[in-house]
A = this chain, B = another copy of it.
């Protein structure tokens, strides 16, 4: 979008879905700008953060944990590997797999991205008081939770106390 203007408030502009997607688009813009100022994009951050949180893993596992589609992991890892922010090495134990790990440079990049991200949150919520920010966060969490439950995200049907996946025989 670029220019509603004309001092004309169209009908749809007060719909929650519109408010949500438009505000989100501002949020996205802020974050994208912040990231691109250090040559990164959203997927890069998510992948780096996932790597730091869970440690080295195969591309498929990273995809599951970060919510990035397998198809998109390839390009994302390529881009990060080209800049030596992650390392892609074959898994000796399973020749189908690559093991992706975070490099020192990758960790530094992650720190930068987190910094930007924090600044973005502040810019995003600028007009709200701390209390209002909290309430907004709470409401959004509830909504997100609700819709995640009833859409795909459930996943991981069962996997009782027994450690890693080793369902049956």
Residues in A lying within 8 Å of B, measured CB to CB: 1-8, 10-12, 14-17, 19-31, 45-46, 49-50, 53-54, 64-69, 117, 120-121, 124-128, 132-133, 135-137, 139-148, 151-156
Contact = CB atoms under 8 A, between A and B. Distances in A.
B20 A23 contact: yes
Q: Which of A23, A25, A155, A156 has the most CB of B within 10 A?
A: A23
Given A3-B152, A10-B49, A17-B124, 6 more contacts: A6-B65, A7-B156, A21-B24, A124-B147, A127-B142, A127-B146
Contact of A121 (B15, B143, B152): B15
Given A5-B64, A12-B46, A23-B147, A142 B124 contact: no
A128 to B, nearest CB: 7
A42 B28 CA distance: 19
9 contacts: A1-B67, A1-B152, A1-B153, A5-B155, A10-B46, A16-B125, A29-B151, A127-B143, A139-B139
A27 to B, nearest CB: 4
A76 B85 CA distance: 42
Contacts of A145: 127
